[in-house]
Chains A and B, each alone.
Chain A
Amino acid sequence: MAEMTTKKNRFQNGKWKNYISYIVIIIFLAILIIINLTKGLGFSDKSTLPRIAFSCILAVSLNLVVGFLGELSLGHAGFMCVGAYLGCYTANVLRTSGNIPELVTIILSMLVAGVVAAVFGFIIGLPALRLKGDYLAIATLAFGEIVRCIFKNLPFFGGAMGMSTKLYDGNTLFIIAFITLLFVVFCCQNLINSKHGRAVVAIRDNEIAAKAMGINVTYYKLLIFMVAAFFAGMAGVLYGATIGTIRQETFSYNYSIEILVMVVLGGMGSINGSLIAAAVITWLNITLQSQLSGALAPVKSIVYALILIIIVVFSNAPAMKGFRESINPRNWRKKTEDAGKIKNDAAAWDRIPTKIRMDDPLSVDTRTTYADSPVPPDVVVKNRDELYVKEETGKEEE
């Protein structure tokens, strides 16, 4: 009985959002399989779908570091590079060594890729214990470039020419990719909603306070870096299986930044957001690439860049705040609700700023908690601008 009520509460508290991603992915996959069996997917779709899946894996795993741990990492492609090389190398070795079933090969190669990438994650997690913010960002970027440079010079991985691996059959590859994605999302959701996840979020919100509460910061930081690296390594294997040739140029810091763009546009600390943003951006990238080829190829990066700038300026600029709120459907309802209620209502607090992160999914400023802001409760805050102003004046008075 008690269990039932907690379950009910979970859904009431908006936890259903945790399950919607599984449902959507499963339905999407099912539809794809049915289409493939009845009509047959086109060749371009078969290569696009796995790319969407491993982009989603990368975005979700980077979101663990950036969104939940709150550390800026620009070396995610480095982990992917490690995973791609070692995983595909393992797969190549297993294939030549005899008749091992293909399923075992792929699981084993992903496992190897993940474990080795996690070891690298441990190594890059160590500086993260000492470095903060932009300094950590450049250290991770440096790590990614080091990995790339080393793999470029290792002869048994093909050197500068790249390493070729077996291309998977398009009919099974997208199924494998989406099942892997499902596994990764499952792991991340459960990690975040567990005791460990709450500790990680506590470290993000205030490291010193978290330490004072007895949270082992070293352990959790390393854990998150390792888990994120593990998943990135798995994505690397999928990358190898989709593209066929692994070349180290792919894994430059530009790729890491592309993953970061997905995370930021999807909303830091939102797994569903990362999934949506990764899928949309990857699709956009591939479509632009195929539509604009030849002499028009540079137009692709111009269009992509403009979309990026416009989205970010539109969704983050303080000057755009009024406009953003006016088009947010949540606020229409809120306005009509607010209009009917008394102004100086102490309970007004509950309605206004607590869900700011949800209202404003592209806001990256998740560190501020509004619940304990010094604004007196008898002030009705209409929008975030006012809240910011009041918070700041409150701080200066101290």
Chain B
Amino acid sequence: MAIAINGLSLGAIYALIALGYTMVYGIAKMLNFAHGDVIMVGAYIIYTMCTFTWNLGSMPIWLSSLISFVVAVAVCTILGIVIEKVAYKPLRGASPLAALITAIGVSYLLQGIAQLIWGADQRTISILDRLGTVSLGDVVIKWSAIITVVVGAIIMVCLVLFIKRTRTGRAMLAVSEDKGAAQMMGVNVNAIVSTTFAIGSGLATFASLFYLPITSVSPTLGAMPGIKAFAAAVIGGIGSIPGAMLGGVLLGVVEVVCNSISAVASYTTAIEFALLIIILLVRPIGLLGKKRRVKV
């Protein structure tokens, strides 16, 4: 039971990050390697704002934490848009590999700046952990895990509704299908790409809030969840939003289950990535990916 909830909560984190990867891939056809570092920036801003507002002491802790979180979401959203405008937009129309390399450059840049501002040492902060635990019979579950699962599920439902029901969402689908045709139909492609990056970065901030109870804040915080969420996006079929959720949850559950078995705990990463390779070999387009025909 505890394993299931923990697995689902880690899965929800991965799914939130994977959504950012998969949406950007669908729209811009590029691997956004800097996505993991947006999580790191989000975590640092939450950390800084929380310690600052808590020390002021004029507000109740839940309110100041909420304000810090909202600020972090705003900053990361703006950061996502700025990254897109400065580093990726000039390269639209160039080869995808060029964009991949600037994404790596942005990733190094964010890590370097974070290290310059906050230093390389690890810091811990408990925000969601303050809620304590709940015991159901014999098992003790952290409230933070439950909140992660519930909020993660709500966000994903909202995102699916947003994409299916709203004008902007449908415009996103149209752009990911065919950029040129969408532009001819009057879709403002630049605005849609910016929106995608903004949503992806906003989701990443949620992920950083939920990730804080599990890890400590450091400049390389984003690297491993970033790469695992990327794997999750590929398992689900990159470009597919339900696929990213499925892949994220699958990977999260596998990771927690493997970690709980002591014989294989140290090989968890290897098992996760082996799972990725096996799924790709059986189904090269991912679990829920769309097949494209190749013509000569």
Contact = CB atoms under 8 A, between A and B. Distances in A.
Bound pair (A, B): yes
Interface of A: 72, 127, 130-132, 134-135, 137-139, 141-143, 145-146, 149-150, 152-153, 206, 208-209, 212, 253-254, 257, 260-261, 264-265, 268, 297-302, 304-306, 308-309, 312-313, 316-320, 362-365
Interface stretch (B60-68, B98-106, B188-196, B208-216): B98-106
A363 B270 contact: no
Nearest to B29: A134
Given A142-B276, A145-B273, A317-B91, A127 B281 contact: yes
**What is the predominant secondary structure among interface residues of chain A facing chain B?**
helix
A209 B274 contact: no
Contact of B230 (A127, A138, A152, A257): A138
B105 A312 contact: yes
B116 A72 contact: no
Nearest to A268: B97
22 contacts: A135-B238, A138-B231, A139-B277, A142-B273, A145-B269, A253-B227, A264-B101, A268-B97, A297-B115, A298-B120, A302-B108, A302-B112, A308-B101, A308-B102, A308-B105, A309-B105, A313-B90, A316-B91, A316-B95, A318-B93, A320-B90, A365-B95
B267 A150 contact: yes
Which 6 pairs from chain A and chain B are nearest by CB?
Answer: A142-B273, A301-B112, A298-B115, A305-B109, A305-B108, A302-B112
Interface string B73-116: 00000000000000100111111011001101111110111111
Nearest to A209: B296
A353 to B, nearest CB: 17
A150 B267 CA distance: 7
B72 interface: no
A298 B227 contact: no
Nearest to B87: A309
B267 A364 contact: no
Contacts of B106: 305, 309
B181 to A, nearest CB: 11
B31 interface: yes
B24 interface: no
A135 B105 contact: no
B109 A309 contact: yes
**What is the predominant secondary structure among interface residues of chain B facing chain A?**
helix
Specify which of A72, A141, A146, A365 lies most central, judged by the most chain B CB atoms within 10 Å of its CB.
A146
Contacts of A363: 95
A253 B230 CA distance: 13
A300 B223 CA distance: 19
A196 B164 CA distance: 50
Given A149-B269, A305-B105, A309-B87, 14 more contacts: A146-B269, A208-B296, A254-B223, A261-B101, A268-B97, A299-B116, A301-B108, A301-B111, A305-B109, A309-B105, A312-B102, A313-B90, A320-B90, A362-B98
A135 B234 contact: yes
A206 B296 contact: yes
Nearest to A385: B93
Specify which of B93, B102, B231 lies most central, judged by the most chain A CB atoms within 10 Å of its CB.
B102
A153 B92 CA distance: 43
A139 B275 CA distance: 10
Contacts of B276: 138-139, 142
B116 A302 contact: yes
B294 interface: yes
Interface string B253-283: 0000000000000111110011011001100
A253 B109 CA distance: 17
Given A146-B274, A299-B112, A302-B116, A313 B87 contact: yes
B273 A143 contact: yes
B141 interface: no
Nearest to A318: B93
A256 to B, nearest CB: 11
Nearest to B117: A298
B94 A317 contact: yes
Contacts of A146: 269-270, 273-274, 277
B285 interface: yes
Interface string B25-43: 1000001010000000000
A268 B135 CA distance: 58
A5 B273 CA distance: 55
A135 B270 CA distance: 18
Contact of B280 (A139, A254, A302): A139
Given A153-B267, A208-B294, A141 B227 contact: yes
B284 A132 contact: yes
A149 B112 contact: no
Contacts of B108: 301-302, 304-305, 308
Contact of A309 (B102, B227, B294): B102
B97 A364 contact: yes
A208 B293 CA distance: 12
Nearest to B25: A134
A137 B31 contact: yes
Given A301-B109, A301-B112, A317-B90, A143 B266 contact: no
A133 to B, nearest CB: 8
B88 to A, nearest CB: 9
Contacts of A138: 230-231, 234, 276, 280
A305 B112 contact: yes
Contacts of B270: 145-146, 149-150
